Amino acid sequence: MAVSEYSASLSVSQLPKSMYFERSMIINMLNVFLVDDEYFERTALKKHVPWEENGFRVVGEANNGKTAYRMISELSPDIAIVDINIPGYSGLELIEKLCQEHISCRYVILTGYDTFSYAQKALKLGVHDYILKPINYGLFVQSLNELKEEINRQHMLSGKLSHLQQENENLFLERCYNDLVNCNFTTGSLSGYDSSLAKRFQLNYPAYGVIVFDFPSLPEHALLRRLQDKLKKHFTSIPFVCFLDVKKRIFLITDSSDEEAFSSAAQSFHRFLQSEIPEVIGGAGLSYPILDQLYLSYNEACIALKNHSLIGEKFIFYKSLPSSPGASLESKVRNQLRFLLLNRSYDRIRPFLSELYDNLMQQKVTFDCIALQTMELTGLLTEILSGQAATPISVLDTDSNILDTIGSMKDISEIKEWLIELYLKSLEKVNDKASDFSDTTICIEKYIVEHLSDPELSIAKIASGLYLNYSYICYRFKQDKNMTINDFINQARIEKAVSMFHEHIDNISYVAEQTGFNNAGYFSKKFKKATGLSPSEYIKTIL
């Protein structure tokens, strides 16, 4: 049975559940506006047409084109019945002006003139029907019902497209978060994506914690999606997002700034899922202040999950594990490695990482700690390379789980060799991409590096110095580097400052001057925003 037949014979709430989506797109009553300069014609229309019985409601009327234009613009009716010969604007002029304003309305013309030129222009304006006076009300109602079916079909199609777009956006976000928790994505990579999607990705919680739920007997994919929807509908007062990971587990990201509230929310989520699937097990990671550290909390939650049979609990907090290891690398190690990557000292990567892992083995660090520190090293690699490449770099297979990958290795030596190989291959990727940059971008980069100490360095100055068009260099650079010229200047200044600090130049005012900052205070602010440490704090980590 066609949708129009359902809408005519049943109330919308009586439609079968299998037609839920289509049912939600059907409009119960269409709003109609009447335009005719003859009072008795308008009265006759209202009297002789069974509007409500056929699913219509007259919401307004006007006796001239200018009043009709104002009222239709304000009311946005679904249908306007317009007489062609009215004062102010003619009927066709009125429709043309409303179309120019993109008013979402369909039109039926009434006229006493059987003139081809009128009908031809009406067709060009997308008028649904052209009805001659005196009106045959039976044919008029038939025309309105045909238009109603067409409007409902369009609403259903628009709704379906919107629904598909929403689903695609959600799947995109799910992929991004999966890459983020597997050290394969950084928030800095969002600049290349649609701004509305990037805004949805940035949660802006004071702190971030991850809770992972696993189901020993894996439910169907559709059931997992329904569980996600139920969580969202049930816990409306708790800020969180939830997705499926590559192993078909539900993971939630929520505000963990209040430790007690985070613990309470995690246990509430678990109890709710237990009421749906009793055998569900869960784990919660630690709290981290920035979104790019989400992979640590997620993998801590996964490690907690792995201990459920040993501990005999169905929900475990990572912090409660016996001698739970700290994940963070020493700031000195992070900064030294960052320095090597930013300065492209690739020949020093292998000995640096080899020494790092040899020290971990000598210290007899636990396997879980090594796994988490390996993830942190992988995350640092993704962050640095994504900043250098024209497009976001993926250093891992996007369908793999990094904890499982590391866990499958027989010892620390194998992990060390795997990470070194990952670094060297990924660095090769970036070099390949760099060779694809246009000559213009290469010239811009060279000019910036040579004039970095100039506090007046600007896009206009670069364009003038290279004898190139301002707009063109902005476009060409963004196309090649996936970042603006100003962002690149700021990044290059911070990188040069880092390099100078590693050369044991610890005079902050001098470094600020050499990197193009007008004053040390502003330099300190930009440096801390980029590195997470003030210049003086950073210097202490490399002494």
pLDDT at 390 over 60: no
Specify the pTM: 0.61
For residues 447 and 52, give the distance between their C-alpha atoms in angstroms, rounded to a whole number.
72
| Each residue's pLDDT tens digit, 176-214 | 888 888 888 777 766 656 667 677 777 889 999 999 999
**pLDDT over threshold 90, residue 401:** no
pLDDT in tens, 339-374: 888 877 888 999 999 999 988 888 877 788 888 889
pLDDT at 75: 93
pLDDT, position 93: 92
Closest CA to 277 of 316, 250, 242: 250
pLDDT category of residue 480 using cuts at 50, 70 and 90: confident
Of 499 and 469, more confident: 499
Select the more confidently predicted residue: 178 or 469.
178
Please state the rounded mean pLDDT for residues 455-482: 84
pLDDT at 8: 29
Residue 226 near residue 212 (C-beta atoms within 8 A): no
Work out the number of other CB atoms within 10 angstroms of the CB of residue 510.
12
Q: What's the pLDDT band for 220 if we cut at 50, 70, 90?
A: confident
Q: Which residue has the higher pLDDT, 536 or 118?
A: 536
Position 4 pLDDT exceeds 80: no
Question: Does residue 139 surpass a pLDDT of 70?
Answer: yes
What CATH number has the domain spanning 182-318? 3.30.70.270
| Contact in structure between 197 and 172 (CB atoms under 8 Å) | yes
Q: What is the pLDDT of residue 121?
A: 76
Long-range contacts, 508-517 (Cβ 8 Å, 24+): 508/535, 508/536, 511/535, 513/453, 514/453, 515/452, 515/453, 516/452, 516/453, 516/454, 516/455, 516/457, 516/489, 517/455, 517/493
Q: Which residues pair with 213 in a beta bridge?
A: 250, 282
pLDDT band at 63 (very low <50, low <70, confident <90, very high): very high
Asked whether the predicted pLDDT for residue 9 surpasses 50, the reply is no
**Kind and range of the H or E run holding 43:** helix 39-48
CA-CA distance, 535 to 532, in Å (whole number)?
A: 10
Share of the chain above pLDDT 90, in %: 43
Separation of alpha carbons 481 and 150, rounded Å: 47
**Of 30, 36, 27, whose CA–CA distance to 57 is shortest?**
30
Q: Give the orientation angle of helix 331-342 with respect to helix 349-362, to 10 degrees.
A: 160
Rounded Cα gap, residues 286 and 326, in angstroms? 10
Q: Which amino acid is at 430?
A: V
- Where residue 401 falls (left for φ over 0; alpha for ψ -120 to 50; beta otherwise) is beta
Residue 33: which pLDDT band, with cuts at 50, 70 and 90?
Answer: very high
Neighbours of 217 (CB within 10 A): 7
- Residue 52 — very low, low, confident or very high, per pLDDT cuts 50/70/90? very high
Question: ω before 77 within 30° of 0 (cis)?
Answer: no
Give the three-state DSSP class for 234: helix
**In this structure, what are the phi and psi dihedrals at residue 214, rounded to the nearest 5 degrees?**
-120, 150
208 vs 1, more confident: 208
Lowest mean pLDDT among 5-19, 120-134, 478-492: 5-19
Backbone angles phi, psi at 249, to 5 degrees: -105, 150
> Is residue 324 very low, low, confident or very high in pLDDT (cuts 50, 70, 90)?
low
What's the one-letter identity of residue 44? A
User: In this predicted model, which residue has the larger pLDDT, 6 or 192?
Assistant: 192
Phi–psi pair at 173, nearest 5 degrees: -60, -40
* Percent of the chain topping pLDDT 70: 88
Question: Phi, psi (5° rounding) for residue 396?
Answer: -125, 160
Q: Do domains 3-157 and 439-541 have the same CATH topology?
A: no
Residue 232: pLDDT band with limits 50, 70, 90: very high
Q: How confident is the model at residue 490 (pLDDT cuts 50, 70, 90)?
A: very high
Q: Where are the domains of the chain?
A: 3-157, 182-318, 331-431, 439-541
CATH of 3-157, one of 3.30.450.20, 1.10.3720.10, 2.60.120.260, 3.40.50.2300: 3.40.50.2300
Question: Mean per-residue pLDDT for 282-300?
Answer: 93
Contact 489, 458 (CB under 8 A): no
Burial of 319 (0-12, 13-18, 19+ CB in 10 A): middle
List pLDDT tens digits, range 253-276.
999 999 999 999 999 999 999 999
Pairing of strands 79-83, 240-244: unpaired
The answer as to CATH 1.10.10.60 being correct for domain 439-541 is yes
Order of strands across the sheet that contains 129-132: 56-62, 30-35, 79-83, 106-111, 129-132
CB 56 within 8 A of CB 106: no
